[in-house]
A and B are shown apart, each in its own frame.
Chain A
Amino acid sequence: NAGVTQTPKFQVLKTGQSMTLQCAQDMNHEYMSWYRQDPGMGLRLIHYSVGAGITDQGEVPNGYNVSRSTTEDFPLRLLSAAPSQTSVYFCASSPRTGSETQYFGPGTRLLVL
């Protein structure tokens, strides 16, 4: 199993541009989530999904959209990038719920100029 994969590894955007961060898992996990990590802030939940077709907001959802059309994929869309979205983004998955052990992808480093 590849586990949780994320693409791209690194991306530079200009303010106002849009992009999609890809996340896929091959463990047949129901729960998937997106976090951002900023210096001194730990990991903060952006959006999560408890199954295909079901998504909900986390702590810091503004400026991001998600969808979950399949069990495997959970893309994160930045609608109009802002410098405040410069961060490292991690996707994670767990078998059933968000409150059990989650398994993380390698991360996407995003720089918004």
Chain B
Amino acid sequence: DQQVKQNSPSLSVQEGRISILNCDYTNSMFDYFLWYKKYPAEGPTFLISISSIKDKNEDGRFTVFLNKSAKHLSLHIVPSQPGDSAVYFCASSAYGGGSNYKLTFGKGTLLTVNP
């Protein structure tokens, strides 16, 4: 039972345009959501997070949106740069209760930004 789903295995965008990566979750106990970025042969690096009390969080070119009623979050990258080309993982946790011992990860989306 996949509790965190990234339905697009890959996404290709042009440099300077917006990249939108999507993530859906099924566990209503999840209240903390993160995005990680992973380059080949490196470990995942934390990018941005959002708690369930917010619906938007911004950090420079990166914005995460949370729609709790739809159990959906998205990561917007504006403008996209070739250096953003990487695999992006969505992750969720039940920070406020329930299973607070782990993050549950999606399968990842490979973003390619073309010059």
Contact = CB atoms under 8 A, between A and B. Distances in A.
B95 A100 contact: yes
B108 to A, nearest CB: 6
B41 interface: yes
B49 to A, nearest CB: 6
Q: How large is the interface on B (under 10, 10 to 19, 20 to 34, 35 or more residues)?
A: 20 to 34
Interface stretch (B11-19, B52-60, B69-77, B98-106): B98-106
A90 B106 contact: no
Interface string A94-107: 00011111111111
B100 A99 contact: yes
Interface in B20-77: 32, 34, 36, 41-46, 49
Given A56-B101, A99-B103, A90 B44 contact: yes
Contact of B94 (A44, A99, A103): A99
Interface string B90-115: 01011100011111011110000000
Contacts of B45: 104
Given A101-B46, A106-B43, A107-B42, A48 B93 contact: no
Interface residues of A, number: 27
A58 interface: yes
Contact of B34 (A35, A41, A44, A101): A101
B93 A99 contact: yes
A50 interface: yes
B44 A99 contact: no
A42 B108 contact: yes
A4 interface: yes
A60 to B, nearest CB: 12
28 contacts: A40-B107, A41-B107, A42-B4, A42-B107, A43-B44, A43-B105, A44-B105, A45-B102, A45-B103, A48-B101, A90-B43, A98-B100, A98-B101, A98-B103, A99-B93, A99-B95, A99-B99, A99-B100, A100-B32, A100-B93, A103-B46, A104-B36, A105-B43, A106-B42, A106-B43, A107-B41, A107-B43, A109-B41
The 9 closest A-B pairs by CB, nearest first: A99-B93, A104-B43, A99-B100, A42-B107, A43-B105, A98-B101, A98-B102, A99-B95, A42-B105
